[in-house]
Each structure stands twice: as C-alpha cells, then as structure tokens.
Amino acid sequence: MTLPALLPGTTASAVTDAYTRLAEVFPGLRAEVLGDGDPAPSGAGWVGADELAAGGRALDTFLAWDNAQVLRDYGQQARPDVVASFGLHRYAWPACLLVTVPWFLHRRVPQIPVEDVAFQRTLGHLAVRVRGFACLPDDPAAALPGARVVADEAALRAEVLAAVAEHIGPVLDGFGPRMRRGKRALWGMATDEVVEGLWYIAHLLGEEQRAMTELEALLPGTTKPYVGTAGFRELTGPNGESLPTRDRASCCLFYTVRPEDTCVTCPRTCDTERVRKLTPTV
C-alpha cells in the first residue's frame, strides 16, 4: 500500500517503509520524512519538538489542549501537573515510535534530535528529518548516505536507547517543571512510553510476543537514564489462558481524574482487576 504524501516535498529514506507500515496498522498516526531542503511544517496546529523542549509559550498552547480535553470529557479541572503528564504522554508515545518501529521492523535506528521533529496532534501527523541512522553490516541500507554501521544486535539496541534519550531528554526538561516529578520519575515515564508504544503497535502487527522479547533485551534494568525493566509478566485468565501484562515504572495520574478507572498496567491496579480487564467479554 502506498500512502499519499501528506506534506509537500516528502521523500523516501531508510525508514520510510517502516513509517508506512506503522500508518497501515495504526491510521491515527502518520510520520512523513522531510527532504534535506524541505522546511519543517509550521502553523495550523504544528509544534516543533524543540519548542516543547524550550518549555515556553508553545508548550502552554500544547497543554491548553489537554486541559480543555479533561474539562470536556470529564467535567472537572485537573491539576496542572496532571495536565502536563497527559500532554507529555500524548507527545512521547508517538515520538518514541519514530525510533522503535524502524528498529523493530528493519533494524534501522534513526537519529531524531528535537530540532528535526514536528508534531500536529489533532491530525496525528509527525514530520521528521532523518539526517543519519544506525544499521547492521548486512543491511542493504548500509550503503546509503547517512548510514552508520554498528557491529551487532547489542550495539544496535544501544543505538535505540541513545536515539530515544537524545530526543526525549530535552522534552522532559521542557515538561519537567510543570509536572512536580523528579528526574527519575520523568525517565520512568519515558521508559513506559518506549515499552508500551512498541508493544501496542507490535500487537497490531501480529508480533506481540517478539516485541516483548526484544523489549526485555532492550531494557534489562541497567540502562541509565531509563528506569527499570520492560516489566512484562503473565497472568492466568479464568479458563487457564495466558494474559500478558506489565508493571509500569511510572503513573500517568489518570486516577486523579477517574479514581475508579485505572489503567490495566498501572502500579495501582491489582492482578484480580487486571484479569477482569484483560478477559474478553462475550
């Protein structure tokens, strides 16, 4: 399936096929690769990741959307730190996929510093300028401009963590003062976005188990500044079936808006409730 170009001047790159596949299984998110001479989109709801990282007026506007959404959908005012947590999640979840999906599908890891990514949240569009990427020696893309060949799978996993940290670290700095959380808690949120984003997309791809295995290898629990392991474990359903779950390294604070409706991977959700949520109803 060939997607129509959503932005003028989009171009093919080593990660274009991965982003195309992402849009096929999850149409709510589309990532377009910008050519070297193409300007990043602006206006009409677009925000640069570097603007979010700066923590100024652009971040105020970005979080105003989250504040209005809580008021509209839940009829109450959320705390400012809760609004900021929602806003960070809604940016970081898709942004991490820019790195993890090409790695998972094609073993290519793009470098995406904050100045090279723009986001249109209402449309679910990302614009990305990929100046370089890491790959394995046997990858045909190793001959392309901007390719950086690494020795093996372990080295490539290190590239994934470095690429995400290069992008998300400044974004955490921008959101951090509004969130009333320390650095470890912020990186716990980043860890969760890496794991849960790819886990979800891999489920849509029909490769959930492979993703769980690879995420466990990616995050063994000793990779600073990330916090904890991938956290996967299995529960047993009412008919003896296996129900995969995980324990988040952080809390999104949704319980402050809806105490009775915690996330299935929330540290506050007991296993009995998880089994109930994960068991299909007839």
Which tens digit of pLDDT belongs to each residue from 175-234?
Answer: 999 998 999 999 999 999 999 999 999 999 999 999 999 999 999 998 999 999 999 999
Q: What is the dihedral of CA 106, 110, 116, 121, to 10 degrees?
A: 40
pLDDT at residue 275 above 70?
Answer: yes
- Pick left, alpha or beta for residue 32 (phi over 0 → left; psi -120 to 50 → alpha; otherwise beta): beta
pLDDT in tens, 68-112: 999 999 999 999 999 999 999 999 999 999 999 999 999 999 999
% of the chain residues with pLDDT over 70: 95
How much is the average pLDDT of 27-36? 94
Q: pLDDT confidence of 121, banded at 50, 70, 90? A: very high
CA neighbor of 18 nearest in space, from 8, 29, 9: 29
pLDDT of residue 267: 83
pLDDT of residue 6: 35
CA neighbor of 53 nearest in space, from 198, 168, 159: 168
- Pick left, alpha or beta for residue 147 (phi over 0 → left; psi -120 to 50 → alpha; otherwise beta): beta
Rounded to whole angstroms, the Cα distance separating 153 from 103 reads 10
pLDDT of residue 263: 85
* Chain centre distance of CA 119: 13
CB atoms within 10 A of CB 132: 15
How much is the average pLDDT of 153-167? 98
Distances (CA, A) of 93 to 10, 99, 195: 23, 11, 9
